[in-house]
């Protein structure tokens, strides 16, 4: 198993390289003089010259890439001229906030989604199923940025149950409980869509599994229905659902952009929006790369879990 994980980790390396190539190519699409465009209003002659040197802009695309990737390896993601600090410092500072938010949302979505999906499949066409199916539809049609605003209006403004924004209270905040209070609304907002997708897929997977021959075998053996559903069917359905949870990690990390903006959560998402507004391209690039790398690891974890569940994949 350890060998398998190592093998999968190794296989992730080319993917990570691919990510850098795509990001690099996108950056190469910048129209006009790149250094000036990247620097925007910070395009002082020194800065332009410094960036040109750093990016090797007078050389071929391949050489430029090699210079760039070597710098990345040394932890040099360039410099945010708007913030006047190295990109890597800013990104790493904000990464933990984003991971906390996205991780909480993903766990929430997985637990609720699996539960709703199983219940809905077992009670197919019953009232529970109809209600769940409708809620799922509402969930996946919900614009997260709007839901966030509604939740703020209701829970923060009208009922004053949770804070409207930020990660810690400005005065005397910072304890785990304080963070938790701030986490509730954004995490719920972020989890809604993923919950819907996971619930829907779990339902389909369960229905698909429940008509398999081996479920008939389990019943023919005289097993209790509870055991048939929760051991024989659920585990088999999970094999199909786990990779989707991995993919949902990507949607949750992406959705964090909206949710962090709405709730002013100090994560990479809100950083990215600000950076795009100020045309702080290198900061955008660094943020995108780091979050994408995190997503690759999420998917890797999903892969490993799936392999643990299914001996045929070993």
Partner 1 sequence: MANAGRSGAVSLLLNNRLAAAGVALLALIVAVALLAPVLPLADPNATAPADRLMRPFSPDHLLGTDALGRDILARLVWGTRVSLMVGISATAIAAMVGSAIGLVAGFVGGRIDGLLMRGIDMVMAFPYILLALAIVAVLGPGLLNALYAIAVVNVPFFARNVRGMALGLSRREFVDAARLSGQSGPEVLFAEVLPNVMPVIVVTMSTTVGWMILETAGLSFLGLGAQPPQADLGSMLGEGRKVLFNAPHVSVVPGLMIFVLVMSINLVGDGVRDVLDPRLKSGALARPSARTRVERADAPVATTPAAVLELKGLRTLFGLGGREVAAVRDVDLLIGEGECLGLVGESGSGKSVTAMSIMGLVPSPPGRIGGGAAFFRGRDLFALSDGEIRRMRGSAVAHVFQDPLSTLHPLFTIGDQLIEAIRAHRPLRRRTARQEAADLLALVRIPNPRLRLEAYPHELSGGMRQRVAIAMALANDADLVVADEPTTALDVTVQAEVLTLLNRLRQEKNAAVLFITHDFGVVSALCDRVAVMYAGEIVETGRTEAVLAAPAHPYTRRLVDCVPVLGEPERRLDAIEGRPPPPGALPKGCAFAPRCPSVAPVCREAPVAVRELAAGRTARCLFPLVGAGHV
By the rule CB under 8 A, 115 interacts with partner 1: no
Closest separation between CB of residue 65 and partner 1, Å?
Answer: 15
- Judge whether 110 and 226 are in contact, CB under 8 Å: no
Rule CB under 8 A: choose which of 285, 303, 306, 307 binds partner 1. Answer: 285
Q: Which residues contact 108 (CB under 8 A, 6 or more apart)?
A: 187, 188, 191, 195
Rule CB under 8 A: choose which of 70, 96, 165, 217 binds partner 1. Answer: 217
290-296-300 Cα angle (round to 5): 145
- Tell me the C-alpha distance between 112 and 125, whole Å: 20
**Helix 176-210 with 234-263: angle, nearest 10 deg:** 140
- Tell me the C-alpha distance between 88 and 103, whole Å: 21
List residues bridging with 86 in a β-sheet. Answer: 79
Nearer to partner 1, 134 or 175 (CB): 134
Nearer to partner 1, 88 or 118 (CB): 118
Rule CB under 8 A: choose which of 153, 175, 230, 264 binds partner 1. Answer: 153
Closest separation between CB of residue 127 and partner 1, Å?
Answer: 15
Closest separation between CB of residue 259 and partner 1, Å?
Answer: 11
Q: How many residues does the chain have?
A: 314
Rule CB under 8 A: choose which of 22, 61, 66, 180 binds partner 1. Answer: 22
Nearer to partner 1, 17 or 85 (CB): 17
Q: Which stretch binds partner 1 (CB under 8 A): 67-75, 85-93, 167-175, 256-264?
A: 256-264
Q: Which stretch binds partner 1 (CB under 8 A): 52-60, 108-116, 174-182, 231-239?
A: 231-239
Closest separation between CB of residue 136 and partner 1, Å?
Answer: 10
- Tell me the C-alpha distance between 49 and 46, whole Å: 5
- Tell me the C-alpha distance between 156 and 163, whole Å: 6
Closest separation between CB of residue 149 and partner 1, Å?
Answer: 6
């Amino acid at each position: 198993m350890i060998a398998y994980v190592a093998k999968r980790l190794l296989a992730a390396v080319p993917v990570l390289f691919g990510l850098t190539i795509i990001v690099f190519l996108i950056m190469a699409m910048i129209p006009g003089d790149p250094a000036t465009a990247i620097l925007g209003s910070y395009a002082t002659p020194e800065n332009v010259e410094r960036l040109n040197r750093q990016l090797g802009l007078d050389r071929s695309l391949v050489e430029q890439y090699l210079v760039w990737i070597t710098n990345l390896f040394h932890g040099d993601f360039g410099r945010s001229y708007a913030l006047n600090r190295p990109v890597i410092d800013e990104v790493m500072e904000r990464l933990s906030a984003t991971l906390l938010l996205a991780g909480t949302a993903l766990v929430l979505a997985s637990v609720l989604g699996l539960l709703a999906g199983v219940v809905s499949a077992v009670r197919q066409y019953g009232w529970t199923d109809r209600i769940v199916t409708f809620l799922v539809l509402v969930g996946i049609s919900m614009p997260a940025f709007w839901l966030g605003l509604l939740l703020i209006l209701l829970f923060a403004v009208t009922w004053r149950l949770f804070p409207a924004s930020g990660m810690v209270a400005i005065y005397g905040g910072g304890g785990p409980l304080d963070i938790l209070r701030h986490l509730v609304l954004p995490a719920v907002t972020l989890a809604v869509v993923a919950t819907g997708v996971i619930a829907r897929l779990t339902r389909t997977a369960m229905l698909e599994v429940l008509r398999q021959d081996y479920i008939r075998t389990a019943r023919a053996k005289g097993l209790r229905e509870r055991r048939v559903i929760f051991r024989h069917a659920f585990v088999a359905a999970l094999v199909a659902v786990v990779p989707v949870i991995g993919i949902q990690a990507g949607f949750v990390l992406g959705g964090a952009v909206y949710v962090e903006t709405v709730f002013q959560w100090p994560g990479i998402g809100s950083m990215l929006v600000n950076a795009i507004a100020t045309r702080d391209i290198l900061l955008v690039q660094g943020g995108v790369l780091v979050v994408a790398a995190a997503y690759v690891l999420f998917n890797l974890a999903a892969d490993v879990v799936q392999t643990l569940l299914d001996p045929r994949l070993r």
